[in-house]
Amino acid sequence: MSRPIIAIVGRPNVGKSTIFNRIIGDRLAIVEDKPGITRDRIYGTGEWNGRAFSIVDTGGIEIDGEDEIMKSVRMQAELAIEEADVIIFMVDAKTGLTHADDEVAQMLLRSRKPIVVAVNKVDNFSRQDDVYEFYSLGFGDPVPISGSHGIGIGDLLDAAVERLPELVEEHYDEDVIRVALIGRPNVGKSSLVNALLGEERVIVSDVAGTTRDAIDTPFERDGQKFVLIDTAGMRKRGKVYESTEKYSVMRALKAIERADVVLVLINGEEGIIEQDKHIAGYAHEAGKASIFVVNKWDTIEKDDKTMQHFEQNIRDHFLFMTYAPVVFLSAKTKSRLHKLLPVVCRVSEQHALRIQTHILNDIISDAIAINPPPTDKGRRLRINYVTQVAVKPPTIVLFANDPDMMHFSYERYLENKIRAAFDFAGTPIRIFTRKKSDED
């Protein structure tokens, strides 16, 4: 079951990113501080009144090419209209209603999507009257807010969450492995779907972005049931989508949320680019089992070291996903294709692996004996007890005397010891340190 998506749309300098950070929490606005992970971010997750959602800041979407503000705003609005469940349309009380606002409003009206108008920079009571002119946009009551002062954010979320669609439960059997294919345009997602299915079920073209919708395709292999979630392409064709497709994360987010295993496709001909790191980061942060799939391997001139060098290149670029295995194949010729599904099954199994508490405590005790925790001003971190509290991804809680003393490097050391003992191939592990209480 995927989270619904709320998108923030509006012209530049109305405060979209400030509101985005307010909603997800400022500390979450920067991707975790680990080597090699991308730090700029245009999406996050939030919860309000018991409803979880993903939120996308279209202000973080960069547009290549001509520096035309309205063109940029229009593209962002189109992306939100296509993919979001609810759209927050942000305007500026200080500037007032502009031609750009009117133009975006016309697009949003035609979309028939639920729209909430957020009037930003209503910093005090004297500015309340500035809100009235925005009634003319035709979206009902505008919500006055102040991003800089945190005023009205709760009212805005009330209005947005109220308009979210009802959750629809998916009816797949528990033993079905849901596999999402993500990657930038033209890496061969649809070709890989067709190769795995053995038939032309998805339109394939050399033109990036020709798949018109995300498609769920069930199939069975060697007694194991799978569902492929293909995220290739945008729904419509045209220059707008060709220009912005590589920045559209909304469909990938929906697919990743619903998946057990995520295949991060990389174009073997072109090699790794920065956008591949963005895309892989979505799967990592969602806690999904992941596999790097290097496609178009048939087109590469190879010697006995080529594969080794390419895999090392992946490791160097994706330092935050050293757990993810790498599979080289060609969807077009089906070379090495047989190697993929066994890896999918393995990482899915590891993603759902649960370790007995006494065994986990033995491993951590041995790790501490070999390399004791750090000290700070004469005080030493003491880890009293360890337990696994969740799967998908495996989530481990360390109860300690002072969680603030847990250094990232020591946490990584413990994670490496856990992986050495139990493998956990293909899945991230989440480790949290909590203060030991009497109840524990």
3 is known to lie in a ligand binding site: no
For position 17, what pLDDT does the model report?
80
Tokens of 24: 């997800």
Q: Is 378 exposed, middle or buried (0-12, 13-18, 19+ CB in 10 A)?
A: exposed
378 is known to lie in a ligand binding site: no
DSSP 349-374: HHHT----HHHHHHHHHHHHHHSPPP
Same domain, 361 and 397: yes
Same domain, 387 and 340: no
Range list of β-strands (E), 360-421: 375-376, 379-380, 383-390, 395-400
10 is known to lie in a ligand binding site: yes
Residues 6+ apart with CB under 8 A from 223: none
For position 212, what pLDDT does the model report?
38
For position 66, what pLDDT does the model report?
45
For position 179, what pLDDT does the model report?
95
Collapse the DSSP code of 30 into the 3-class scheme (helix H, G, I; strand E, B; otherwise coil) and give the result. Answer: coil
342 is known to lie in a ligand binding site: no
For position 243, what pLDDT does the model report?
44
Q: Does 151 fall in a domain? A: yes
Same domain, 137 and 232: no
Q: Does 168 fall in a domain? A: no
In the chain, what are the helix, strand and coil shares in percent, each to the nearest 5? 40, 20, 40
Q: Does 107 fall in a domain? A: yes
Task: Report the largest interatomic distance among the alpha carbons of the chain, rounded to a whole angstrom.
Answer: 73
Same domain, 195 and 311: yes
Spatial separation of the C-alpha atoms in residues 183 and 196, rounded to whole Å: 17
Same domain, 363 and 324: no
Residue 55: strand pairing partners: 6, 44
Burial 240-269 (b: 16+ CB within 10 A, else e): bbebbbbbbbbbbbbbbbbbbbbbbbbbbe
Where does a domain end: 299, 324, 350? Answer: 350
Same domain, 413 and 306: no
Q: Does 167 fall in a domain? A: no
Q: What is the CATH number of the domain that holds 416?
A: 3.30.300.20
Same domain, 318 and 405: no
Residue 435: strand pairing partners: 400
Where does a domain end: 137, 162, 187? Answer: 162
Tokens of 330: 């060609």
Q: What is the CATH number of the domain that holds 105?
A: 3.40.50.300
DSSP H or E segment with residue 70: helix 69-83
For position 249, what pLDDT does the model report?
63
What domain range is 230 assigned to? 177-350
Same domain, 282 and 207: yes
Neighbours of 312 (CB within 10 A): 12
For position 275, what pLDDT does the model report?
76
36 is known to lie in a ligand binding site: no
384 is known to lie in a ligand binding site: no
Tokens of 41: 């971010």
Same domain, 371 and 419: yes
60 is known to lie in a ligand binding site: yes
58 is known to lie in a ligand binding site: yes
123 is known to lie in a ligand binding site: yes
129 is known to lie in a ligand binding site: no
Q: Does 71 fall in a domain? A: yes
Tokens of 329: 């194949």
188 is known to lie in a ligand binding site: yes
Q: Does 79 fall in a domain? A: yes
How many structural domains comprise the chain? 3
107 is known to lie in a ligand binding site: no
Q: According to DSSP H, which parts of 303-403 are helical? A: 306-317, 340-351, 357-370
Under 8 Å between Cβ of 190 and 265: no
Under 8 Å between Cβ of 434 and 397: yes
Burial 200-232 (b: 16+ CB within 10 A, else e): ebbebeeebbbbeebbebeeeeeeeebbbbbbb
Under 8 Å between Cβ of 57 and 28: no
Q: Does 172 fall in a domain? A: no
246 is known to lie in a ligand binding site: no
377 is known to lie in a ligand binding site: no
DSSP H or E segment with residue 242: helix 239-244
Q: What is the pLDDT along the chain (440 residues), one digit of tens a residue?
A: 567 889 898 887 788 888 888 888 754 433 333 433 333 457 777 889 888 888 888 765 544 444 556 666 666 667 777 778 999 999 999 999 988 888 888 888 888 899 999 999 998 777 778 899 999 999 999 999 998 888 999 999 999 999 998 876 666 678 899 999 988 777 888 889 889 888 655 545 444 443 434 567 888 899 999 998 865 543 333 444 444 443 456 667 778 888 999 999 999 988 888 878 888 888 998 899 999 999 999 988 888 899 999 999 999 999 999 999 999 999 999 999 999 999 999 999 999 999 999 999 999 999 999 999 988 878 889 999 999 999 999 999 999 999 999 999 999 999 999 999 998 999 999 999 999 765 55
For position 180, what pLDDT does the model report?
92
For position 331, what pLDDT does the model report?
93
17 is known to lie in a ligand binding site: yes
244 is known to lie in a ligand binding site: no
Cis previous bond, 393, omega within 30: yes
Same domain, 142 and 182: no
Q: Does 98 fall in a domain? A: yes
Same domain, 229 and 185: yes
Where does a domain end: 162, 188, 223? Answer: 162
234 is known to lie in a ligand binding site: yes
What's the gap between Cα 117 and its chain centre? 26
Q: Parallel, antiparallel, or unpaired for β 261-267 and 86-92?
A: unpaired
Q: According to DSSP H, which parts of 98-237 are helical? A: 99-111, 153-162, 189-197
Collapse the DSSP code of 328 into the 3-class scheme (helix H, G, I; strand E, B; otherwise coil) and give the result. Answer: strand
Same domain, 214 and 289: yes
